[in-house]
Amino acid sequence: MPKLIIGVMGAGEKATALDIKNAYELGKLIADRGWVLLTGGRKAGVMDAASKGAKASDGLTIGILPGKDTTDISEAVDLAIITDLGNARNNINVLTAKVVIACGMGAGTASEVALAIKNGKKVILLTEDISSKEFFTNLSPENVLIANNARDAIALVRQIVAQSN
């Protein structure tokens, strides 16, 4: 029986201070519940912060890297999955995660939210970007949920996981 993997997606260099704070807390809460954290694996922004948060609670962290080696990997990633797929690896991120949490918003994150919906996955938006929330909830009311903070997002993950068992 495979372990439950929760994805936290978000910007690298363009992440805001709030995104990074939320990502750290998400990673910590995911690890506290015994879930495995999945991110894009780079040593930047949301990926790095979420992974560090998970390690602060002794969690297990997976990084799905876009390049062909571990250059730029977050030091808090335990398991480096090396894809050499560039942005096509975003589809692996959302397929592998049981639930996807979008922490902040940007072009890469938007592609992951859209791919999650396309693949029928539930995705939780935790962002101050109002137009993304309007667009994606409009696009797929049944798959997109809104969280106001990290604890809220984790509560939604628990509900989704409970319903799918």
Residue ranges that bind a copy of itself, judged by CB under 8 A: 1-3, 5, 36, 62-64, 68-70, 73, 75, 77-92, 95-96, 105-108, 110-111, 114-115, 117-119, 129, 131-132, 134-135, 138-140
In angstroms, give the least distance from the CB of 111 to a copy of itself.
4
Do the beta carbons of residue 98 and residue 163 sit within 8 Å? no
- Residue 48 Cα distances to 38, 42, 66, 75, angstroms: 11, 6, 15, 8
Rank residues 109 and 150 by Cβ distance to a copy of itself and give the closer one: 109
How near is the Cβ of 125 to a copy of itself at its closest, in Å?
12
Name the residue type at position 89.
R
Q: How far apart are CA 30 and CA 62, in angstroms?
A: 13
| SS3 state at 32 | helix
- Closest contact distance (angstroms) between CB of 23 and a copy of itself is 19
Query: At its nearest, how many Å lie between a copy of itself and the CB of residue 95?
Result: 4
